[in-house]
C-alpha cells in the first residue's frame, strides 16, 4: 500500500483530503506543521502533499531542504496562484502544483498519475541497447554482465529517474554521498567517467555548469 504524507494546517481540508485518499486505497499520515511533517516523514512515505503557508514556516523552504535529502514526489498546494510562486515551486523541483480551493477528486487523479510514473516502472529497462535491472542491481550489454560499483549504480539510477531532465550535480552529490558533499564536484566526476567508459561514452550528457542528463 502506498503511503501519502499530507502537510496542511487546515484540519478540515486535511481530513477531507485524507478521507478521499484512504477510500482510494492509500495509507495516509496527516501533519499540520513543518515540524510535525519532518517527524512523520521517513522511507515509507511515497509522496508528500505540501501546503505553501504553514504556521511554523514556508512550505517552499521545507521543500528546498527536502530536495537535498530525498527525491520523493511532492505536490504543492497554494492559494498564491501568481507567476512568481509557480516559478519558485518548479525551480524547487516540485512534481505538481495545485491551486486552492482544492478538488479532492483532481488531487487523487494527480497522485495516481505520479504513483504510476514513479513506482510502476518495469523491473528492467533498456537504454541504448544496455539492459538495466535497478531492482537486482545488474547491467547487461550484448548478453554480457557489466560490473558497476554500488556508487556507480546509485548515480546512474538517479540520473535515469530524472526522465530525461537535467539532474544538478549538487543534488546527485547530496543524495548519494550526503548533504555535506553537495559542492564537492570532484567526488562525482570520476564516477561519471567510469560509467561512460563501462557503458557508452554518449549515455550521459554533461550540461555545463548544471549537471547531467541521460540520453535514452
Number of domains in the chain: 2
Same domain, 38 and 133: no
pLDDT in tens, 69-120: 888 999 999 887 777 878 888 888 899 989 889 999 999 999 988 988 887 6
Residues 110 and 137 in one domain: no
Dump pLDDT digits (tens) for 61-73. Answer: 999 999 888 889 9
Query: Is 95 found in the same domain as 61?
Result: yes
206-211 LR contacts (CB < 8 Å, sep 24+): 207/166, 210/166, 210/168, 210/169, 211/166, 211/167, 211/168, 211/169, 211/170, 211/171, 211/172
pLDDT at 178 over 80: no
Same domain, 16 and 83: yes
pLDDT higher than threshold 70 for residue 135: no
Q: What is the pLDDT of residues 42-68, one digit of tens each?
A: 878 899 999 999 999 999 999 999 988
Do 20 and 91 belong together in one domain? Answer: yes
Instruction: Supply the range of the domain harboring residue 69.
Output: 3-119
Residues 6+ apart with CB under 8 A from 211: 166, 167, 168, 169, 170, 171, 172
Q: Is the domain of 132 the same as that of 60?
A: no
pTM (two decimals)? 0.60
Amino acid at each position: 500500500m502506498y503511503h501519502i504524507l499530507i502537510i496542511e494546517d487546515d484540519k478540515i481540508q486535511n481530513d477531507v483530503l485524507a478521507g478521499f485518499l484512504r477510500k482510494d486505497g492509500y495509507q495516509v499520515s496527516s501533519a499540520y506543521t513543518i515540524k510535525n511533517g519532518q517527524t512523520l516523514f521517513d522511507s515509507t512515505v511515497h509522496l508528500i502533499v505540501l501546503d505553501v503557508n504553514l504556521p511554523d514556516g514556508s512550505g517552499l523552504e521545507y521543500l528546498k531542504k527536502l530536495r537535498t535529502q530525498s527525491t520523493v514526489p511532492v505536490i504543492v498546494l497554494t492559494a498564491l496562484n501568481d507567476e512568481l510562486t509557480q516559478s519558485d515551486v518548479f525551480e524547487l523541483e516540485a512534481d505538481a502544483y495545485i491551486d486552492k480551493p482544492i478538488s479532492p477528486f483532481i488531487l487523487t487523479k494527480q497522485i495516481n498519475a505520479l504513483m504510476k510514473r514513479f513506482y510502476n516502472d518495469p523491473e528492467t529497462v533498456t537504454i541504448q541497447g544496455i539492459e538495466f535491472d535497478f531492482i537486482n542491481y545488474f547491467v547487461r550489454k550484448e548478453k554480457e554482465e557489466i560490473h558497476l560499483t554500488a556508487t556507480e549504480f546509485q548515480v546512474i539510477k538517479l540520473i535515469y529517474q530524472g526522465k530525461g531532465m537535467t539532474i544538478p550535480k549538487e543534488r546527485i552529490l547530496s543524495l548519494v554521498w550526503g548533504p555535506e558533499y553537495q559542492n564537492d564536484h570532484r567526488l562525482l566526476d570520476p564516477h561519471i567517467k567510469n560509467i561512460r567508459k563501462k557503458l557508452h561514452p554518449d549515455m550521459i550528457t554533461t550540461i555545463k555548469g548544471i549537471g547531467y542528463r541521460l540520453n535514452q
